[in-house]
Amino acid sequence: MTMKYLSVLVLAISLLAACSQPEEAAQKATVEHRNYVRDQYGETAIQQYLHLKDALVSSRVQEARDAAKLMYMHLDISKHEALIKPLTEIIENADLSLQRERFSTLSIALQQALEANNDEVINAGREPLFIQYCPMAFGNQGATWLSAEGSVMNPYFGDEMLTCGVVRDTL
């Protein structure tokens, strides 16, 4: 009888332990993201792009949407078609992964517009920007973004891999 009692006790303990694991895993899955968004940004397209980047670094979906709306408002739809499409998709979606993908497209288009250096709206009040690159973004395809700071704060991974990336160049 003692062996049977011991077997039942071991089985009960095993079941209790197994049932508690999903709850513990769920608690561990909750990631607290720090806020890397500044208190204030300027009223230019570039400043709102930087606001959008910081919102993505902070994994703040709604703030990313709001910054994208403000950037959109500063642009001429007929002149900035390459910027409008990814901005619209960021504004219309509450999926952080999708916002980060569209931010990559936006970053490429913005960099090209800045390199063309012929657009007063894009260049208004612009300070030097750093072209930063994360080789691990999007399944190791890599992605770039622009930053006002030389230190890397990755908008594609946020706190998960905050400093993953390098500074490639300046604009």
Per-block mean pLDDT, blocks of 10 residues, the chain (171 long): 50 40 42 82 94 98 98 93 97 98 98 86 85 97 97 95 96 92
pLDDT at 122: 82
pTM greater than 0.85 (yes/no): no
pLDDT at 4: 55
Q: What is the pLDDT of residue 2?
A: 58
Dihedral (CA of 101, 103, 104, 106) sign = positive
Instruction: Look at residue 12 in the predicted model and tell me its pLDDT.
Output: 44
CA gap 26, 42 in Å, rounded = 39
Question: pLDDT value at position 144?
Answer: 98
pLDDT at position 9 is: 46
Query: What is the DSSP secondary structure assignment for residue 34, as one 8-state letter?
Result: P
Please report, as a single letter, which amino acid is at residue 87: L
CB 87, CB 106: distance < 8 Å? yes
Facing residues of 132 across strands?
Answer: 145, 167
Of the candidates 10, 72, 35, the residue with the CA atom closest to the CA atom of residue 158:
35
